[in-house]
Structure 1
């Protein structure tokens, strides 16, 4: 059994024409209480719908796609004139063909319909209202569709970059880890083995476990812990690393690799001054459906090179957050000469707006 879908645009436009028809019928019935005005009402609504929808549903989408709105404005003026002429012609003809000279006629009606130009001018506001309403509604629909397409294209681009991140390990990290493993194999075999296992888990997670829209939070946390552990082993006593992991519901879903660029960025740009020990402080706290991620690192006054990047980049992470958690996240980045700090709050109960692979 097919699921019924409530077509809001169809309901709205149908309601508009029904309301217009009822208003028109009520007006005619007030002027001619003993005359059957249903035929005039139906014919007027039909002609109005035909002309206005030809403009709004046929010509407006073409103008928007081709960027020829000046031509559409001219078409709208012509359509308004045609609609005005049609409606005024129907009213004018109804009076002179059906009402004039009958018991329904009176001096007031004769005066109102004496001159067709007067009827035409009096009908212009009604025609503008009809054209403006139908075109306005259609323009809103077209704009909404274009905005959706733009969002989907932007999201697809960002997710393609995420795919690259999954399929290609950061060469800088891989080079440093392998180089460090080579050194540790000569000095501390046990520590080298530990580093190799953790690095293997990092590779496995990025290459095989991130091919889904969302993953349990506990898996993402385990990955982050391995990443931090590898960096701690690499840096040794040169860097103070403090971490707080407070996860109350690890089964809650989160978009994979969302926090990784912040961690990579902290270790990549931590201060390397020989006179002082650098630091990285990380806190991940979950309270009900709210996840708060805070990471701070000592910062060197020396500016980073422009060609340096971390993962998919902090800028793209911000774009991903806007698309995947719109209105359900808060990101604050603070940068000074002494430190760099990121505070990210995510509402995990938000249904992710995601385009799969």
Structure 2
């Protein structure tokens, strides 16, 4: 129905335009309206054969020679069809005393219908090509957006099993050694899973909820390592009405535990500071790092690789990430823009 409406509007505007042009040259409104209405079937025939046969079958397939030949034949048929319609309607009404022939002796009289058919066919083809081009660009943009969303969901899903594997290992050990600590761990793990299963499905979440999930994770690891771990976790600034992508900070903290404390049998430490400015979140994360083999090093940073890809998608060219890997410590400095509730609802 929309297509029929568009075509009806086009033809209505076309008739008004051509009648107006001819009226300026010859102020006989009835003659020009009758001529345009009488010639419409021939123009329909020429335009739609061009649009739905010659264009897709020859032009778009780059068979330009055949397209030119087919269009030439179509114009010849269209001219004489238009001539027949005008000869049978316009001349008896407005020129009854003029002795005219269906096929004129002077071929110059065919120039006007020829130009009419070429002009209207060209207009429609141009409109069609422009619309198809816009549709292709829109489809391309939508595919890119869909691919980005699918990839972001994949990156999120890659984080969850990795996190759960580490946490459940620690929980299992505490169940055997200290059931009370294990019970507290279950509560915090439950809160984390609730966040992952529900809130983390959204593109943006409240900073407060995301940092609560991060704090629960760090508390779980503190229970796991006990006095062996010297953990400092500081949050500066207000979290009200601020949003970030879910689980964006967790891989960095998780990496600190997995590749720092978990491999260190001596005293280990982690310093985590999160600063919330007006429109920027800054993460400063530093952890002790034991020496480890090249095999261990190859395993390092799976989560970091994923989160770097995610940063590129969410904040292309708008984030700062500096990672310093020294012999005895590992340091991360991350700066990302903060979205506000007002901005997200705009």
What TM-score, normalized to structure 2?
A: 0.64
Q: For 1:232 and 1:40, locate their aligned partners in 2 and report how far apart those are by CA, in whole Å.
A: 89
The answer to whether the 8 Å contact 1:334/1:340 transfers is yes
2:276 to 263, 279, 285: 285
The answer to whether the 8 Å contact 1:244/1:282 transfers is yes
Q: For 2:82 and 2:160, locate their aligned partners in 1 and report how far apart those are by CA, in whole Å.
A: 69
Partner of residue 319, structure 2: 331
Please give the residue correspondences for 1:301-320 in structure 2 after superposition, counting only pairs within 5 Å.
Answer: 304-305=297-298, 309-310=302-303, 313-318=306-311
Partner of residue 3, structure 1: none
Give the superposition deviation at 1:137: 0.5
Distance 1:137 1:119, change over 3 A: same
Partner of residue 246, structure 1: 237
Q: How many residues align?
A: 319
**Larger radius of gyration between Structure 1 and Structure 2:** 2
Partner of residue 38, structure 1: 33
Give the helix-richer structure, 1 or 2.
2
Please state whether the residue corresponding to 1:249 is helix, strand or coil.
Answer: coil
Give the superposition deviation at 1:196: 5.1
The answer to whether the 8 Å contact 2:46/2:74 transfers is yes
Please give the residue correspondences for 1:1-357 in structure 2 after superposition, counting only pairs within 5 Å.
Answer: 16-34=10-28, 35-42=30-37, 43=40, 46-47=44-45, 50-51=48-49, 54=52, 59=56, 70=61, 98=90, 102=95, 114=108, 116=110, 120=114, 124=118, 127-149=121-143, 151-152=145-146, 154-156=148-150, 158-159=152-153, 162=156, 169-176=163-170, 178-179=172-173, 181=174, 185=177, 193=180, 197-198=184-185, 200-207=187-194, 210-212=197-199, 213-214=201-202, 216-233=206-223, 234=225, 241-249=232-240, 256-269=246-259, 279-285=270-276, 287=278, 290=279, 292-297=281-286, 304-305=297-298, 309-310=302-303, 313-318=306-311, 321=314, 330-338=318-326, 339-349=331-341, 351=344
The answer to whether the 8 Å contact 2:268/2:288 transfers is no
Q: For 1:10 and 1:268, locate their aligned partners in 2 and report how far apart those are by CA, in whole Å.
A: 63
The answer to whether the 8 Å contact 1:166/1:206 transfers is no
Q: Which moved more, 1:217-226 or 1:119-128?
A: 119-128
What's the Cα RMSD here?
Answer: 5.2
The answer to whether the 8 Å contact 1:166/1:207 transfers is no
What TM-score, normalized to structure 1?
A: 0.62
Superposed CA deviations along residues 308-327 of structure 1, whole A, max 9, x for unmatched, are: 522892145336636xxxx8
Superposed CA deviations along residues 50-94 of structure 1, whole A, max 9, x for unmatched, are: 3465369x959xx9xxxx953687887678657755775576667
Superposed CA deviations along residues 249-291 of structure 1, whole A, max 9, x for unmatched, are: 26x666543442343234445598999976543315264xx46
Partner of residue 101, structure 2: none
The answer to whether the 8 Å contact 2:148/2:313 transfers is no
Superposed CA deviations along residues 214-256 of structure 1, whole A, max 9, x for unmatched, are: 4554332211111123344538566553421433426x66654
